[in-house]
Amino acid sequence: MVRGYQTAGFDDPDSIPLLHGEKKQKTAGLKADAAGNSGVGAGFVQMLQGNLGPGILTLPYVFTQGGVITTSCMLILVLFLTLYSMGLVLKAKKWVHAQPQWINVEESKRPQSFQSVGRELLGLRGEKVIIVFVAMMQLGICMVFFNFSATELMAVEEYYSRVNATSGELADPTDSSDGLLLGKPELIFAAAPIALALSLGRSPTIIVVSASIATVIMYVTIGTILALVAWHFYRYFPGWPELQLEPLKPSYLPIAFGNLVYTVTTSIGILLPIENSLGPRAKTKYGTIVASAMSTTLVLDLAVGLLANMAFGKQTHESITAEFIEENIGHPEYVIGINVALALSVLLTYPLQFRPACEVVEAALGVAIEEDDDAENGLLLQDGVKQRSWWQTWGYIPVRTALVLFTAALAAGVPQLDLMVALAGSFTACVLALMIPPAMDIAMMRKDNTFPPMRVFLDSVVVIVGILGLIGGTGATLLQLAGVDVDDLL
């Protein structure tokens, strides 16, 4: 069907395919039931997969800048706040389904997605806010992907620029002439055509295949990175280098918070779609699945952030793989292969993250998202035959081209990877993960006319932290980008 909102109206948000929670999700190689529903293992892998990405590989640098003790405490805080918010979203869905207008309705026809549950509790305006911020978060993730891929390729380019052409030995690292052929903005715009070519495909198969390949690459490379860090840590145990225990600058703490929110909370957008894909038995254990996946995320994040700082000392590069090249960890060509593989994996994942946002924009602009047999969805009738306008048929090409170039341009305008991640985390993830779920819970309490003090207190704390993260993280990042030294002003 042609799915979408009426132009500028956002009248049928559940019709957006990839924002629509009712679609089945399957994980290849993991056990499913006879109906094709996912099992416990598949749910765990999907939830964990939502938190594994470029954000985890920036953590060593963030831990150095924010201080390993302070950043570790903030990471634990963010994870528990996110778990609490996820619990609120699951509770909200259950509450909505128990209402008289839905209790006798077939399960698949009840509100199943984040935005449709939000509509029942927060009204149409609240639903629009959720949809807009989901779209912005996805575009923010795409910007991070561009920046991250360029950062990985920059590390490779910097390595070869330091190699003496005749002897094959590394040149003096203090040499100020970088000799780089391409800077980060040039690498980002060089990657844009690849991302666009992958994103123009309208078949979900293309997205599934590319994302599956990217997932395998990401798992293998992150596992290899952890092994290299652990090996270096063990090799020099207990002669650890001096750790940066406290923040280098107090003004970096809001930026560190934005990075942590981005790293931990990105899976909240797929929380309900994953539950909807599970079989009846797995759904009864979904709370345990979520808690296990988030606990594993915490362990991995702490392992990468802490072990890298304990193994190598203060991090000077935005990505841990660049530290490997600097410290001559592992065979240089092997480490370079890891960098290139990571850059490739995020580009292959770009269409998956990009599509929900572009579908929102396309639907609002009247572009047909899928084939349709219904004339009521905007198809023109001519002599009884359904006809598409040029814009409905081909409008997705200029729209997606403009959005890809937009994300590339913003990524190029924010050269520091940690600042790009902080901006995406502070501006969008704080709203989606730390502000909207408590707002939904407060709406439930109002409708039930009951206000348990502890529940009100916890919701208020999460909202306040979200507001502080939104204002502080976004503001500190923008000031840093503007070259303003906040510490000098304090």
Q: Which ranges in 200-331 belong to alpha helices (H)?
A: 204-235, 253-265, 271-277, 280-284, 286-312, 320-327
Across residues 119-123, what is the average pLDDT?
93
Which comes out higher in pLDDT, residue 2 or 95?
Answer: 95
Q: What is the dihedral of CA 214, 140, 298, 219, to 10 degrees?
A: 10
Would you state the pLDDT for residue 42?
79
Asked whether the predicted pLDDT for residue 376 surpasses 70, the reply is no
When pLDDT is cut at 50, 70 and 90, the band that residue 23 belongs to is very low
Would you state the pLDDT for residue 291?
92
266 CA to centre of own chain: 4
Query: Which tens digit of pLDDT belongs to each residue from 398-415?
Result: 999 999 999 999 999 888
When pLDDT is cut at 50, 70 and 90, the band that residue 1 belongs to is very low
Asked whether the predicted pLDDT for residue 179 surpasses 80, the reply is no
Lowest mean pLDDT among 42-46, 95-99, 415-419: 42-46
Would you state the pLDDT for residue 239?
58
Q: Which ranges in 30-67 belong to alpha helices (H)?
A: 40-51, 54-57, 59-66
CB count within 10 Å of CB 95 equals: 18
Across residues 353-366, what is the average pLDDT?
86
Asked whether the predicted pLDDT for residue 16 surpasses 80, the reply is no
CB count within 10 Å of CB 413 equals: 12
Exposed (0-12), middle (13-18) or buried (19+): which is 224, by Cβ within 10 Å? middle
Q: Is the distance from CB of 427 to CB of 264 less than 8 angstroms?
A: no
When pLDDT is cut at 50, 70 and 90, the band that residue 215 belongs to is confident
Would you state the pLDDT for residue 386?
54
* CA atoms of 178 and 77, how far apart (whole Å): 40
Would you state the pLDDT for residue 459?
95
* CA atoms of 8 and 27, how far apart (whole Å): 35
Token pair 């409708």 in the structure block, residue: 447
Across residues 373-382, what is the average pLDDT?
45
Lowest mean pLDDT among 9-18, 98-107, 333-342, 398-407: 9-18
